[in-house]
Structure 1
């Protein structure tokens, strides 16, 4: 495959993910976060299983032998991450959510050091500090001197839980590297749907949605849930995870562009916080020594 196609895939993956933040903000105005989470993955499951079978042709018995880890991944990455994200979008802006979420790579490095005993260099530590500073600037609207005396936006605080959940999901997910990624995700999605179904059945949801909300749900269920995932994994196989990770910064950039396009404004504080987070991510992902270890 030509590298030019790979880079197009990486750009599209992040563009679709950015759309999840922006359109998710509009859809949660009509749908409860639980309703949107379930609907999204129900649509995705109908596409992921056939794609896994066509592309990866997995041994499903081998996949389901890892059901214990898949249950944990389902709770964290499929149900937990998405429910919390959509809950956060009820209270905060799409751009704020994307900026806080962009600290995820730095947080993964920190938790890898704590749980997997990977060493962090001084330059990596500086990157962690800059990322944290950038997020704090966004959370406090630039009033760092009042960090312990502010009433924080509820959505921004929920986003801190979102990135923590995704960090744990990413680290635990390393234990099933032998399972093809689309197949592992398909199985996790199915488990998450089963776990969420009782809550969906007893909930009193409003199913009289506008046409815009229905279009938004279809978009979220197809493009970020299936398209981004496939593009991302194809790209990683071609150029490696470290090269692909650089493109994750595009998620916040695209979120900002789409936000402006849909009539939202961007503040200087958001720009400054985002730039500090990007600088921190770059420094955090500089070459670091690793000490192999298992998470148990």
Structure 2
């Protein structure tokens, strides 16, 4: 019996590692697929219908929890709405807007700095203690972002000639940082599935009026076909539901500090996928910026620091 239990635990741990390897692949795919389809699907349509599909998939499983914990949800509706706005609503919509005018590689590199923004905002807003080595890590990661945004040319920054998409992506990462800080300050006592379902439901409602304005006055929506439906299904299932589940399971099995290391795979995956499917070339500034960002991440998220709340539904 003991050997069977040990074998079962080993299998669960192995599955956790497999899930943690796949999760950054799904996140990288989010940027690459968005960049490849943003001319066919407007950003707000992409964000809105992605979450509608995810909600349709989740509701049969999450609805009992919503009903069972309805009083908790009502009591914390303000906090839940704020959390949904910064995560499901703003973060993903901004990421898709960024895909209009920057590369998938840039999106992934800037997106990789989420833990840095979480640490910085936790220090500024929550008064978290930050060790000197973490300050150095934050500084290096910020420098790496500037290298990516400037494309290695200081005149891009001084001349305010940065790509709009890069700046929008910085705003997206900042939005997720605010979500993470609020999640710590205004923790809502809900099971994971109920919390996720509520967040997607509220976030979809937040996006709805912006989507309708965009649909009527600006983009006009998109034509439904295999080339537009499949990306939306991918967004809903892989970087959404599966990545969230795999990530949470991995954190539970091996701990947040070890799981955080797998986040470093996201820009690596994105660079390869963007090169293969979008013919994006890797510049020297990508390499230099990536090295600075990843070095900063290693220093700022060292084992021993309480892991930030950046569990995501990208």
TM over 0.5: yes
Change (3 A) 1:68 1:147: same
Deviation per CA, 1:5-50, whole angstroms, max 9, x where unpaired?
1110111111111111000112211111111111000011112233
Q: Distance in 2 between matches of 1:265 and 1:102?
A: 19
The residue aligned with 2:311 is none
CA RMSD of superposed structures (Å): 2.1
> Is the aligned partner of 1:258 residue 2:273?
yes
The residue aligned with 2:154 is 144
Q: Distance in 2 between matches of 1:14 and 1:105?
A: 14
Q: What SS does the corresponding residue of 2:158 show, helix, strand or coil?
A: coil
How far apart are 1:267 and its partner, in Å? 1.2
Structure 2: tracts of 5 or more residues without a match: 1-8, 307-314
> Is the aligned partner of 1:285 residue 2:296?
no
> Is the aligned partner of 1:193 residue 2:209?
no
Q: Distance in 1 between matches of 2:195 and 2:160?
A: 42
Q: Distance in 1 between matches of 2:102 and 2:59?
A: 34
Deviation per CA, 1:204-255, whole angstroms, max 9, x where unpaired?
3233144222211111111111110111111111112222111111111111
The residue aligned with 2:249 is 234
> Is the aligned partner of 1:115 residue 2:115?
no
Q: Distance in 2 between matches of 1:176 and 1:145?
A: 43
How far apart are 1:179 and its partner, in Å? 1.6
Q: Distance in 1 between matches of 2:133 and 2:60?
A: 44
Among 133, 137, 141, which residue is 1:131 paired with? Answer: 141
The answer to whether the 8 Å contact 1:63/1:183 transfers is: no
105-114 or 193-202, which deviates more: 193-202
280-289 or 12-21, which deviates more: 280-289
Q: Distance in 2 between matches of 1:74 and 1:61?
A: 18
Q: Distance in 2 between matches of 1:207 and 1:268?
A: 37
The residue aligned with 1:293 is none
The answer to whether the 8 Å contact 2:65/2:194 transfers is: no
Q: Normalising by the residue count of structure 2, what TM-score does the alignment of the two structures yield?
A: 0.86
Deviation per CA, 1:119-138, whole angstroms, max 9, x where unpaired?
11111111011101111111
Q: How does 1:29-40 map to 2 (within 5 A)?
A: 29-40=39-50
Q: Distance in 2 between matches of 1:168 and 1:147?
A: 25
Change (3 A) 1:62 1:55: closer
Q: Distance in 1 between matches of 2:82 and 2:116?
A: 22
How far apart are 1:53 and its partner, in Å? 5.9
Deviation per CA, 1:65-102, whole angstroms, max 9, x where unpaired?
32111110111111111111100100000110111111
Deviation per CA, 1:102-121, whole angstroms, max 9, x where unpaired?
11111111111111111111
Q: Normalising by the residue count of structure 1, what TM-score does the alignment of the two structures yield?
A: 0.91
Q: Distance in 1 between matches of 2:210 and 2:132?
A: 46
Aligned length: 290
Q: What SS does the corresponding residue of 1:264 show, helix, strand or coil?
A: coil
Q: Distance in 1 between matches of 2:178 and 2:263?
A: 18
Structure 1: tracts of 5 or more residues without a match: 291-296
How far apart are 1:59 and its partner, in Å? 2.9
Q: What SS does the corresponding residue of 1:158 show, helix, strand or coil?
A: helix
The residue aligned with 1:14 is 24
The answer to whether the 8 Å contact 2:72/2:189 transfers is: no
Change (3 A) 1:289 1:199: closer
